[in-house]
Amino acid sequence: MSGLAGLLKAEGASLEAEDDFEQINKLYLERGWGDGLPIIPPTARRVEQMLAYCDRPWDEPVAKIAPRYGEATPLRLAANAVMAGCRPEYFPLVVLAIEAMCEEPFNLYGVQTTTHPCAPLMIVNGPVARELGINSGHNAFGPGTHSNATIGRAIRLALVNIGGATPGLGDMSTFGSPAKYTYCVAENEAASPWQPLHVERGFPAEASTVTVVGAECPHNVNDHESLNAQGILTTIAGTMAITGSNDPCFEAQPVVVFGPEHARTVAADGYTKADAKRFLQEHAQLPLGKFSKENIDRRFRVRFKEKYATAGLDALVPVVQRAEDIIIVVIGGAGKHSAFIPTYGSPRSVTRALKRIDGQLAKSVEEFRRNGIN
């Protein structure tokens, strides 16, 4: 344990505590180091086991997490992954997701500090999603799967403990969101009639990727009656066309989650993903008059004056400015449901591929494993 022992000697890198689960949890709660749930104490042994799946230098930051701009070293991320209950083999995805959400276009500062209830949604594609058993089927957004639950939780703990997203201090969300506990899913590529998200974004199918979106919770779209693409898409577009989301006011990239049954119905009518996006963009529009008078007079007519300065109340306001900005993924099991996920609005989603330190795409998390640590 020589490498780690040396790093832990740095000021503030570790603390001495009695080996007592309840006492350590009490201490962490008192210091605000967590999400309110019990944590697994990040002992040197457990952190080193986590770092066994890291091929980077343990003390070199992979990113800085806003708003504190705390340095996300593998060592610190590993401590948070241990606290969240991650298995060591999940760790490469935790690192990757943090790197993705710290890219400039994602605007993590905004996502972390805003009064809006957004959280980084993490969508995993490719073989590593299957290797780690990340749920893409029944209840993928819900409880019950170890990797979904703990990878997403590790992200949240890192956002709080390294990034400073402490409620009321660095996280000013008016009322927060259950998605701030954990928000990690995989796409159900096997059940999708379309290209998976990462292939659509230019990555090879054998790549494993993480896509992050500054997102609200999913809003369900129930459609048990429609028999064709137009029907399903009309219901989804109707669910998207709401006045209270951020999306109509930005060049947003909201997510439409197709349940596999809805996706099959739409694809069976010959709709490609691009076709579905075009339909949704054209139909997820609402008349200006649906917004409140003040929103029309003080926002639309002023901020978007080129379009709405003198527009009538029947002028249509699109929820999404460009069809290609709609993110479509297929997730879930049996059932006639899809979901719409509104976003914080301004951040761009970011997709990153899982790569080894030599820059090659990783086919398996085992490629990150360091020898000599058990």
Q: Which residues bind another protein (CB under 8 A)?
A: 67-69, 113, 164, 168-170, 172, 294
Of 171 and 216, which CB lies nearer to another protein in the complex structure?
A: 171
Q: What is the DSSP secondary structure assignment for residue 138, as one 8-state letter?
A: T
Residue with tokens 């059932």: 335
Phi, psi of 125 (to 5 degrees): -125, 160
Q: How far is the CB of 171 from another protein (least distance, A)?
A: 9
The minimum distance between CB 172 and another protein, in angstroms, equals 6
Task: Return phi, psi of residue 324, to 5°.
Answer: -70, -15
Rg (CA), the chain: 22
Q: In the bound complex, what is the minimum distance in angstroms from residue 151's beta carbon to another protein?
A: 27
Question: CA distances (Å), 349 to each of 121, 205, 211, 343, 361, in order?
Answer: 9, 19, 7, 10, 21
Minimum separation from the CB atom of position 115 to another protein (A): 9
| Spatial separation of the C-alpha atoms in residues 101 and 352, rounded to whole Å | 10
Length of the chain measured in residues: 374
Calpha distance 352→103 (Å, rounded): 10
The least CB distance from residue 9 to another protein, in Å, is 26
Nearer to another protein, 48 or 247 (CB): 247
Q: Which is nearer to another protein, 69 or 250 (CB)?
A: 69
Q: Where are the alpha helices (DSSP H) in the chain?
A: 2-8, 21-31, 44-51, 74-84, 91-101, 108-113, 127-131, 146-161, 197-200, 229-240, 260-268, 273-283, 293-294, 301-303, 305-308
- Considering the complex, what minimum distance in angstroms separates the CB of residue 132 from another protein? 34
Nearer to another protein, 66 or 157 (CB): 66
Choice between 170 and 342, CB closer to another protein? 170
Q: Closest distance between another protein and the C-beta of residue 104, in Å?
A: 16
Structure tokens of 310?
Answer: 């003198």
- Shortest approach of another protein to residue 174 CB, angstroms? 10
Name which of 43 and 166 has its Cβ closer to another protein: 166
Q: Pairing state of beta strands 219-222 and 63-65?
A: unpaired
Closer residue to another protein (CB): 68 or 153: 68
d(Cα 213, Cα 201) in Å, to the nearest integer?
14
C-beta closer to another protein: residue 278 or 299: 299
The contacts of residue 348 (CB under 8 Å, 6+ apart) are 105, 106, 107, 253
